[in-house]
Amino acid sequence: KAVKAGATDFVLKPWKNEKLLTTVMSAMQLTDSKREVAELKETQKQINSDIDHHYRDIIGRSPAMINVFNTIEKVAATDANVLILGENGTGKEMIARALHRRSARNEHVFMNVDMGAITESLFESELFGYVKGAFTDAKEDKAGRFELANGGTLFLDEIGNLPLSLQSKLLTVLQNRKVNRVGSANSKEIDIRLVCATNQSLNEMVSDSTFRQDLLFRINTIEIQLPPLRDRKEDIDALTNHFIKLYSKKYKKEVEGCSKETIIKLEKHSWPGNVRELQHSVERAVIMSESAILKPGDFLLTPEAGDSEQVVFDDYNLEEVEKMVLRKALKKHEGNISKAAEELGLTRASLYRRMDKYGL
């Protein structure tokens, strides 16, 4: 009767102290185990209920992001080439990594290549590798990115920055699935899953004859369009709280969240730097705040056209002014790096460095 009522065991009289102690310890361990199982089940239940707005490190409950998550689920297990489209700061690399994690190649390498950072002269040696003696500084054999990514996923970021003169070489490798190291006549077979990303309209570039149509067809078997943050403002609350938890832990601050007025202010901002800009804004706010709840004044947001508040430069240091100018140029040219850099009198590489510095 006692067991049916919930007792885990029983001890007959007269008992030995050792037996009683062992029985009590076993009962306590069983109780702890049952509690842990219950907690795990509750945690899993919470995870399952949150899956619609927190896809690993990618947070979103907006219809556009749910559509992105659904596409990842359908495509990840295949080897189809994927083209990720989106403005700077929308999280294109995170989507590429999510595809890799959920693929059969997840135990192999994820190789990230920034196409905008590779010069024309280094393109072949960086991507295809070289053999000793192929050129003056080739002191030993070196594998290229394609070989290093063999068996895994090769992520070509900002594919739109690849000069037209080099696009045919990339296309040949993708078609033949073989690479020749610079200085070698021997081909090496490659087995990769290709994911590309860009903030430019490749269709417009095809129309302008600056991007090969056959290369576009090769890389965009599946397209994933990432929305800018201004078009998914219902995600700002969840994103902000995610970053607050992240940076409160990192900087050992006791910041618990945002006031309602703060969220309203953040939702009104256009976020030209997208999620990356929001992330850096929250990081700064967490560092500088002296209270547990972030208030509107904790966020140093650049006033935009139509804002009632005026820009008072006495309130900004040189870095804030530079950030403001960069953001204005990027917004004017709709994220086109080449045009923004030209207007600012910078090289594309210099603009990229400044964008990375300011989280744009």
| Cα distances (angstroms) measured from residue 149 to each of 91, 105, 111, 116 | 21, 10, 6, 19
**Spatial separation of the C-alpha atoms in residues 224 and 30, rounded to whole Å:** 49
User: Where is the domain boundary, 227, 259, 292?
Assistant: 227
In our burial notation (b when 16+ CB lie closer than 10 A, e otherwise), range 238-275 reads: bbbbbbbeebbeeeebebeebeeebbebbbebbbbbbb
Range of the domain at 46: 1-50
The C-alpha atoms of residue 108 and residue 121 are separated, in whole angstroms, by 29
Q: What is the pLDDT of residues 269-294, one digit of tens each?
A: 999 999 999 999 999 999 998 899 99
**What CA–CA distance (Å, rounded) separates 312 from 298?**
17
Yes or no: say if 235 and 227 are a contact pair by the CB < 8 Å rule: no
Contacts of 90 (CB under 8 A, 6+ apart): 226, 227, 228, 229, 274, 275
Same domain, 222 and 262: no
In the 8-state DSSP scheme, what is residue 67?
H
**Per-residue pLDDT, 317:** 58
CATH number at residue 201: 3.40.50.300
Handedness of CA 206, 211, 213, 218 (dihedral sign): negative
Note whether 121 and 247 are same-domain residues. no
Sorting pLDDT into bands at 50, 70 and 90, what band is 342?
confident
Q: 0.95 exceeded by the pTM? A: no
- Considering the domain architecture, whether residues 118 and 170 belong to the same structural domain is answered as yes
- 35 and 176 part of one domain: no
DSSP, collapsed to helix, strand or coil, labels residue 257 as: strand
Q: Using the 3D structure, point to which of 227, 246, 278 is the last residue of a domain.
A: 227
In CATH, what number is assigned to the domain containing residue 269?
Answer: 1.10.8.60
Picking from 114, 176, 184, 186, the residue whose alpha carbon sits closest to that of residue 145 is 114
Enumerate the β-bridge partners of residue 54.
59
Q: Which residue has the higher pLDDT, 132 or 12?
A: 132
Antiparallel, parallel or unpaired: β 153-157 and 193-198 = parallel
Q: Is the pLDDT of residue 264 over 90?
A: yes
Report the domain count for the chain: 3
Note the pLDDT of residue 325: 78
Percent of the chain predicted with pLDDT > 70: 79
CA distance 180 to 252: 51
Taking 60 as the threshold, does the pLDDT of residue 6 lie above it? no
Q: Are residues 296 and 165 in the same domain?
A: no
pLDDT of 54 > 60? The answer is no
- pLDDT of residue 3 exceeding 80, the answer is no
Question: Which H or E element spans position 59?
Answer: strand 58-59
What the block records as the tokens of 222 is: 């599946």
Asked if 83 and 5 sit in the same domain, the reply is no
- Residue 116: pLDDT band by 50, 70, 90 thresholds? confident
Q: Are residues 220 and 82 part of one domain?
A: yes
Do 296 and 220 share a domain, yes or no?
A: no
Shared domain check, 28 and 68: no
CA pair distance 201, 170, nearest whole angstrom: 19
**Claim to verify: residue 258 and residue 273 sit in the same structural domain:** yes
Question: Phi, psi at residue 93, to the nearest 5°?
Answer: -65, -35
pLDDT in tens, 243-263: 999 999 999 999 999 999 999
Res 141 pLDDT > 60: yes
Separation between Cα atoms, residue 200 and residue 204, nearest integer Å: 8
What is the SS3 string spanning 105-172?
CCCCCEEEEEHHHCCHHHHHHHHHEECCCCCCCCCCCEECHHHHCCCCEEEEECHHHCCHHHHHHHHH
Give the end of a domain, one of 50, 66, 91: 50
Ramachandran angles phi, psi of 166, nearest 5°: -105, -10
One DSSP character per residue, 185-222 reads --EEE---EEEEEESS-HHHHHHTTSS-HHHHHHH-SE
Same domain, 118 and 207: yes
- 73 with 162, same domain? yes
